[in-house]
Amino acid sequence: MLYNLIIYLYLLGVAIYSRFNEKVRKMWRGERDAFRVLREKVDPNARYVWFHAASLGEFEQGRPLIEQIKREHPDIKILLTFFSPSGYEVRKNYEGADIITYLPLDTITNARRFLRIIRPEMAFFIKYEFWYNYLHILKHRHVPVYSVSSIFRDGQVFFRWYGRQYGRVLKCFTHFFVQNEKSRELLAGIGLTNTTVVGDTRFDRVLQIKAAAKQLPIVEAFVKDAPHVFVAGSSWQPDEEIFIKYFNQHKDWKLIIAPHVIGEDHLQQIEKLLEGRKVIRYTEAESHLSTLTSQLSSFDVLIINCFGLLSSIYRYGDVTYVGGGFGVGIHNTLEAAVWDVPVFFGPNNQKFQEAQKLKACGGGLEISSYEDFERQMNLFDADAQKITSAGQEAGKLVQQLAGATQKVLSGVQIK
For 84-122, the three-class secondary structure string (H helix, E strand, C coil) is CHHHHHHHCCCCCCCEEEECCCCCHHHHHHHHHHHCCCE
Q: How sure is the predictor about 29, in pLDDT bands with cuts at 50, 70 and 90?
A: confident
Q: How sure is the predictor about 1, in pLDDT bands with cuts at 50, 70 and 90?
A: low
Q: How sure is the predictor about 278, in pLDDT bands with cuts at 50, 70 and 90?
A: very high
Least confident of 1-15, 169-183, 374-388: 1-15
Does an H or E element contain 382, and which?
helix 370-382
Q: What angle do CA 230, 235, 241 make, to 5 degrees?
A: 80
pLDDT digits (tens, 9 = 90+) for 102-131: 999 888 999 999 999 999 999 999 998 899
Residue 5 has pLDDT above 90, yes or no: no
Q: What percent of the chain has pLDDT over 70?
A: 97
Residue 15 has pLDDT above 80, yes or no: no
Q: How sure is the predictor about 39, in pLDDT bands with cuts at 50, 70 and 90?
A: very high
Q: What is the pLDDT of residue 305?
A: 95
Q: If you average pLDDT over every residue of the chain, what do you get? A: 92
Contact between residue 363 and residue 343 where contact means Cβ atoms under 8 Å apart: yes
Which residues, 6+ apart, have CB-to-CB distance to 12 below 8 Å?
none
Q: What is the pLDDT of residue 368?
A: 97
Cα 281 to chain center, whole Å? Answer: 25
pLDDT digits (tens, 9 = 90+) for 244-261: 999 999 999 999 999 999
pLDDT digits (tens, 9 = 90+) for 196-206: 999 999 999 99
Q: What is the DSSP string of 289-323?
A: HHHHGGGGGG-SEEE--SSS-HHHHGGG-SEEEE-
Contact between residue 124 and residue 146 where contact means Cβ atoms under 8 Å apart: yes
pLDDT: which is higher, 26 or 8: 26
How confident is the model over 376-401, as a mean pLDDT?
A: 96
Q: What is the pLDDT of residue 249?
A: 92
Instruction: Report the chain's C-alpha Rg in angstroms.
Output: 23
Residue type, 116: R
Q: What is the pLDDT of residue 144?
A: 97
Alpha carbon separation from 171 to 135, 187, 192, 197, 301 (Å, rounded):
9, 10, 7, 18, 53
Residue 53 dihedral angles phi and psi, to the nearest 5°: -130, 135
Decide: residue 93, CB within 10 A, 0-12 exposed, 13-18 middle, 19+ buried: exposed
Cα 394 to chain center, whole Å? Answer: 18
Q: Which of 85-99, 252-266, 284-298 has the highest mean pLDDT?
A: 252-266
Q: What is the pLDDT of residue 10?
A: 65
pLDDT digits (tens, 9 = 90+) for 317-339: 999 999 999 998 999 999 999 99
Q: What is the pLDDT of residue 246?
A: 96
Residue 316 has pLDDT above 90, yes or no: yes
Residue 68 has pLDDT above 80, yes or no: yes
What length is written for the chain? 415
Cα 345 to chain center, whole Å? Answer: 16
Residue 71 has pLDDT above 70, yes or no: yes
Contact between residue 223 and residue 254 where contact means Cβ atoms under 8 Å apart: yes
Q: What is the pLDDT of residue 269?
A: 96
Q: What is the pLDDT of residue 393?
A: 98
Q: What is the pLDDT of residue 17?
A: 59
Q: How sure is the predictor about 8, in pLDDT bands with cuts at 50, 70 and 90?
A: low
Alpha carbon separation from 50 to 100, 195, 254 (Å, rounded):
10, 20, 45
Bridge partners, 254 (sequence order):
229
Q: How sure is the predictor about 28, in pLDDT bands with cuts at 50, 70 and 90?
A: low
Pairing of strands 122-126, 145-150: parallel
